[in-house]
Every structure is written in C-alpha cells, then in structure tokens.
Chain A
Amino acid sequence: MKIHEYQAKKVLAQYGVPIPRGEMASNAYEVYEIARRLGGTVVVKAQIHAGGRGKGGGVKLASSPAEAEQIAGKMLGMTLVTHQTGPEGRVVQRLLIEEALRIKKEYYIGIVIDRLAKCPVIMASPAGGMDIEKVAAETPELIFKEHIDPSVGFEPFHGRSLAFRLGLSGEFLSPAVKVMAALYRTFEGMDASLVEINPFLQTEDGRLLALDAKITFDDNALYRHPELSQYRDFHEEDPLEIRASRYGINYIRLDGNIGCMVNGAGLAMATMDIIKLVGGNPANFLDVGGGASAEQVKNAFEILLGDKNVRAVLINIFGGIVRCDLVASGVVEAAKAVGIKIPVVVRLEGTNVEQGRQILRDSGLKFTVASGMKDAAEKVVSLTKQ
C-alpha cells in the first residue's frame, strides 16, 4: 500500500523525524490562508502516488499567499504526467503547502529489504534530490549501505558510519543519527517495505529535515495497522482493482483486449506471457485463487467484463486438488449468471479433465475448449482478430 507525501511526513513526524511546516489542501481558497500562516513564501506540491512530480510541473514556489492560491487553482484538477505515472498521468486532487526553505545541501536516506541478506538495509547518499535508481545505476560508489540485524535493530554505530561517510560530522552528527534511528523505528513500527527521505535536507540555518518522503507498507501486515485505512486514497487506484480487492481477487489492469482468468499467480503471469508471444495483448493479470470456486469465477467474470476493452476471455485453470469437472461446472454456472456475450476460450488441465471438457461442450454456451496453453492462447488471439 502506498500513501501520499503529506501522509508519509505525518507518520515520520510521529516517529521523531523533523519535517517542514506545512498543511494539506484540497481547495484553492484554503491555500491563501495556509500560505499566510506559513509566512507567505511557500512551496505548492501536488500529491499523487508517483515520483518525478517536480519535472512534471507538480512542485512550484510561490512568493506570496495570492500567488500560492493562483498556482493551487491551476494545479488542482490538472493531469500530472511523470516518468512513474505512465502516459495517462494522474489527476491532482490534493496539495501540500509547505514553508519554503533555504537549501544548503541535499542527501538521500532510505530503508529497503535486502532479499538475499534477508534483512533491512539502510542506504544513504550525498547525491540527494535525484532519482536514486539512476544514482545506483550510474554512480553506485555514491550509495552507502548498512545492513541491520532484524533481531537486534538499529544501533547508533550504523547511523554514525553512514553520517560520517555523508560528511555529516561535528554538530550535524548527532541529529543525523537521530533521524536515521527514527527512520528505522518507522520502518519497523509501521511494517513498511520501503521508507525514503529524498531529499534529506541540510538548510542554510543549520537544520536537518525531510523535504520529501515516501513510505510503502507491507500489505501482508496491514492487519496490524488498522489506522492506515484512513490513508488509503481510492482516487489513486483503478475502480476495477478496488472491486477485485473486495472479492479477495488479485487483479491488475493492463492495456490489452484479452481478459485472463487463471488460478495461481505464476500461471497467471505465464498466461499473459504466452498471449503476447502468439501476437495478442493481455487486458489484465487475474489470479482467481488456487481452488477456482464457482463464486470466485463469477466474481472474476464481473471484473473482467467491467473492462470495456476486453474482446475475448481466456480461462486457464490447472485443476489440482480441485477436480476439473467441478471447475467446469462453476465456469458454466458463472457464465450463465453473468450473461457473457464475448467469446470465451477455456483451457482446463488436471484431474477429471475429460469430464470437465464435456461439461463445457454440453453447456449450450459458446465456449471454445482448448488443449494446452499454446492452443488456448492461439485460439483466443484469433478470436479477437476476427
């Protein structure tokens, strides 16, 4: 789960990370007052779940409350396109109005999970304010790392080691270590999979602050943090994906025209791949669950048909523990209930596959029964080209 910058800063501040003074606004008329309270000169920042906002025109400096209001009026409702939003961009619905700061130097600090080492790793870089992935690719020597033993946690030496390498010594050492400790407390306390301060700012007047922040939460641990549900912004999510998540179905919308319904995540990815390999375009990733129950198949049909680009559906079920005849009955029942009108290609494999195929053929519905993944993909692709 992702949250906005202003929300991430609120969470970080709760754990003791210093942040600039600022307030969220969703109407331009609020902005004048906020800017006035913050001293007149402010930064207006578009709040969307994607990076690269500055380059896209989503971060602007205003030298007066009136100018801030004017900028806000233009920014709210605009479609912001950045390298992370895709070409369709995101509509700006909220702004963060923040005090303008005099920047001396920009750093980067962040915590991610090192899969190989099976532990969190704190990363720091003097190349702050830049795309950290680019820094990692082009100048990896500018990224410093400290692995944290998850059973012990963050120790001050981790912070000192990074701070000295960043050149944050003397009066800045202790505050820098404190920020890193707070960042780790946030990571652990909130079950994050990523926490990032970029840029981590050193101001002309000698303060260290989080100028921009990003937190991604571990979806598996959301049950431990019911307070996070208030941070979910449905405007940032696809309506069909929201519906699918209510059914407990893993669904990701793509831009093709072949709807896919598959049991298991790996097989679902492989099904998308083979559609592409034989010249088609998958409309989605959809994992209907290992059991592929009739109820879930029906729900999945509704989600797939909610995407108006879908011209044909490919169902690929490997019946393991669940027998194919049961899966086939479920598919027939669901297709009848939903009243499906576009072509459906079904590939079943596993226990009782023949009975399953017979049920599909006898259903009176226009199913195309395929044998094997390749056959299924070719059949569905040719149906969309007719």
Chain B
Amino acid sequence: MSILIDKSTRLVVQGITGREGTFHTRQCMAYGTKVVAGVTPGKGGTTHEGVPVFNTVVEAVEKEGANASVIFVPSAYAADSIMEAASAGVALIVCITEGIPTLDMMKASAFLAKRKSRLIGPNCPGIISPGKCKIGIMPANIFKEGRAGVVSRSGTLTYEAVWQLTERGLGQSTCIGIGGDPIIGTSFLDALRLYNEDPETEVVVMIGEIGGTAEEDASRYVRDNMAKPVVGFVAGQTAPPGRRMGHAGAIISGGKGTAAEKIRAMKDCGLHVAASPADIGETVVRALKERKS
C-alpha cells in the first residue's frame, strides 16, 4: 500500500502544453503514472503527448475520470488553477509552481477549507509511491519500493535522503515534498497521520528546515500518537536570522523558527535526530534496529 496515490490514480496535468508541463508529463508517463488528461485553456480538443487536452478541469474530470491533478502553471495563475481543480472535485492537487504570492495562497487555502480536496505544495517536487505512481518532478531512478515514508519541505535535500536510503537497501512507501512556502496545503502533521495509518510504512523520515513551527507541531503528534519510529533532520542550523534562505518559508523571524528549537522539540518528543545531513540514512537504519530489539 501507499498513501494518497497508487496504480489506479488518474492524473490530469494543468499547464500540460508548457515546457515544464510537457517534459514532466512525459517523465511521469514513463514511470507508469496514468496521465488521462491535460488542461490548457484555449487548447481544448487537441492532444498533447498522446493525452487529450481540455479547456477546463471539470471536463477532464467528467470525460476522463481524473482524480488527481498536477499544476505546472506560472505563479501568477497557479492559485486560480488550484481553486479550479478543487472546484471540479479533484481529490488530490499537487502544485509544483514556485513563487505564488502568499496572499493568493491564503485565499486558495480558505477556498480549499470548504472542500474535500487535498493540496500538496506549492513550491514542491510532488509525491511518489515507488513502483506505483509518480506525480511531480523528482528523478525516478533514485527511488526504490519499500517501507520508509519520507516527508520534506525541500526538493534536492529529499533526493539526498532518499538516495541514502536506497543505497542502504531501504525502499520507500511514499515520499511527499510538502513545499518550501509559508502557506502549504499538506503539513508535516497531515503527512504523519497518513503514514501512521498506512500498514506498509514502517518508519518515517521528516526533513524540516528553519521557519515557522510545523516541525514542533508534528513532533508533538509523534510523541502522543505515532506508532512508528520517526527520524528527523532540520536544515539551516547555520542560517542567519532575518534572511530568507531560498525558500519563501525558510526564515527565522522574531527569534522564532530556528533549527535549534526544532531539533530540541524533535529530541524531546522522541524522534531520532540526524545531526548531519550525511547521517539521515544511517539514523533510519539505527531507528529500525532499535525498534526490533
């Protein structure tokens, strides 16, 4: 099993005819993802990469039964695309787009709160269940089917962690990039809840970074509810306060959101903390051994 996506997921690509949309549609299909439709307003009725293109998400849902969407729409229009997908009743919306204005995301979040759709991202690499389905931009070849869940605010740092797992023969159940923005759809806490209920996930890796308090909130959930070991890492231990470290959400402001606070919360709540980014894989190995002994 996996969380959120599997072999039956039917994907619509919003912004399919753009450069990124085209490239990653091809990559996702090569991985075995069922891409059933694309949406580009004004290009309805055509086909692109062998996929039927529609003007609206509603049509993609009605005609092709799409139940998940991935968004490659430019930042100025991406929040609109998220709301369009939610309005069409798409269950899972994955927004890859970086640079969406925060105000737009707050409005989109308020819109989503009244609907059943789940959003992953924005500003994220997407979600993959190795061997089953890939919705996003991650390099498929580093992943391996298995029983570790990985949830992260970052892109390439996730690949680094996944690589360390795969090298040690530890496959992954589902990996989710939740995104580097201050306002995101699926939080660490949401992801942990899903992993906790997934019988095939044995261990979870949570890769946080400076800014906000999402790692602290998730750590308390681990302490109170998590039946599986959780390995934590926090990037930005050397980041200066008041500076945005690439991701819009990665900023220490008002003395809050430091790596030290997050690491302390993780340790206090019983997570296995990797002190160095090079030790994430080994820490997972240790956490699994400890659980068995």
Q: Is the CB of B138 within 8 A of A320?
A: yes
Among B101, B137, B157, point to the contact of A266 (Cβ < 8 A).
Answer: B157
Name the CB-closest residue of A to B109: A118
Q: Which of B160, B240, B259 has the most CB of A within 10 A?
A: B160
Interface window among A56-64, A215-223, A338-346:
A215-223
Give bound CA distance, A127 to B141, whole Å: 56
Given the known inter-chain contacts A149-B110, A266-B153, A351-B141, please indicate yes or no for A115 contacting B277, CB distance below 8 A.
Answer: no
Among A273, A319, A320, point to the contact of B276 (Cβ < 8 A).
Answer: A273
Residues of B within 8 A of A262 (CB): 156
Among A120, A254, A270, A350, point to the contact of B142 (Cβ < 8 A).
Answer: A350
A16 vs chain B, min Cβ distance (A): 20
Q: Is the CB of B102 within 8 A of A267?
A: no
Among A132, A267, A285, A372, point to the contact of B156 (Cβ < 8 A).
Answer: A267
Name the CB-closest residue of B to A189: B103
A52 at the interface (CB under 8 A from B): no
Interface window among B50-58, B61-69, B210-218:
B210-218
Given the known inter-chain contacts A267-B154, A273-B238, A287-B246, please indicate yes or no for A373 contacting B278, CB distance below 8 A.
Answer: yes
Residues from 336 to 379 in A contacting B, C-beta threshold 8 Å: 349-351, 372-374, 377
Residues of A within 8 A of B238 (CB): 254, 269, 272-273, 275-276, 282
B180 at the interface (CB under 8 A from A): yes
User: What is the size, in residues, of chain B's interface with A at 8 Å between Cβ atoms?
Assistant: 64
Give bound CA distance, A137 to B256, whole Å: 10
CB 8 Å contact bits of A172-197 with B (1 = contact, 0 = none)? 00000000000000001001010000
CB 8 Å contact bits of B123-144 with A (1 = contact, 0 = none)? 0000000000000011101100
B145 vs chain A, min Cβ distance (A): 19
Residues of B within 8 A of A266 (CB): 152-158, 180, 207, 209, 235, 246-247
Give bound CA distance, A282 to B183, whole Å: 29
A239 at the interface (CB under 8 A from B): no
Residues of B within 8 A of A103 (CB): none
Given the known inter-chain contacts A151-B110, A151-B111, A268-B245, please indicate yes or no for A318 contacting B156, CB distance below 8 A.
Answer: yes
Residues from 110 to 133 in A contacting B, C-beta threshold 8 Å: 113, 115-116, 118-120, 132-133
Give bound CA distance, A254 to B239, whole Å: 9
CB 8 Å contact bits of A30-57 with B (1 = contact, 0 = none)? 0000000000000000000000000000
B243 at the interface (CB under 8 A from A): yes
B107 at the interface (CB under 8 A from A): yes
Name the CB-closest residue of B to A137: B255
A78 at the interface (CB under 8 A from B): no
Residues of B within 8 A of A223 (CB): 76
B195 at the interface (CB under 8 A from A): no
Residues from 277 to 321 in A contacting B, C-beta threshold 8 Å: 277, 282, 285, 287, 290, 318-321
B29 at the interface (CB under 8 A from A): no
Q: Is the CB of B154 within 8 A of A265?
A: yes
A263 at the interface (CB under 8 A from B): yes
A161 at the interface (CB under 8 A from B): no
B87 at the interface (CB under 8 A from A): no
B40 at the interface (CB under 8 A from A): no
Name the CB-closest residue of B to A323: B139
Q: Is the CB of A118 within 8 A of B213?
A: no
Given the known inter-chain contacts A113-B106, A350-B139, A373-B278, please indicate yes or no for A269 contacting B245, CB distance below 8 A.
Answer: yes
Q: Is the CB of B160 within 8 A of A267?
A: yes
A264 at the interface (CB under 8 A from B): yes
Give bound CA distance, A254 to B236, whole Å: 13
A224 at the interface (CB under 8 A from B): yes
Q: Is the CB of B156 within 8 A of A218?
A: no
Residues of A within 8 A of B139 (CB): 319-321, 350-351
B249 at the interface (CB under 8 A from A): yes
A274 at the interface (CB under 8 A from B): yes
B114 vs chain A, min Cβ distance (A): 9
B71 vs chain A, min Cβ distance (A): 15
Name the CB-closest residue of B to A262: B156
A136 at the interface (CB under 8 A from B): yes
Residues of A within 8 A of B141 (CB): 351
Give bound CA distance, A318 to B110, whole Å: 36
B45 at the interface (CB under 8 A from A): no
Give bound CA distance, A137 to B110, whole Å: 29
Q: Is the CB of B156 within 8 A of A264?
A: yes
13 A-B pairs (CB sep. < 8 Å): A113-B102, A115-B212, A220-B75, A252-B243, A254-B238, A264-B156, A265-B155, A265-B247, A266-B153, A268-B246, A276-B238, A285-B243, A285-B245
- Interface residues of chain A, those whose CB is within 8 Å of chain B, are 84, 113, 115-116, 118-120, 132-133, 136-137, 149-151, 188, 191, 193, 218-221, 223-224, 250, 252, 254, 262-277, 282, 285, 287, 290, 318-321, 349-351, 372-374, 377
Q: Besides the contacts A250-B245, A266-B235, A277-B275, what 11 more A-B pairs have beta carbons closer than 8 Å? A: A151-B110, A220-B75, A254-B238, A264-B154, A265-B245, A266-B207, A268-B245, A272-B239, A273-B236, A321-B137, A374-B278
Q: Nearest 7 A-B pairs (CB), nearest first? A: A266-B154, A265-B246, A264-B156, A266-B157, A320-B139, A221-B101, A270-B277
- Interface residues of chain B, those whose CB is within 8 Å of chain A, are 27, 75-76, 99-107, 109-111, 113, 137-139, 141-142, 152-160, 163, 180, 182-183, 207, 209-210, 212-214, 217, 233, 235-240, 242-250, 254-255, 259, 275-278
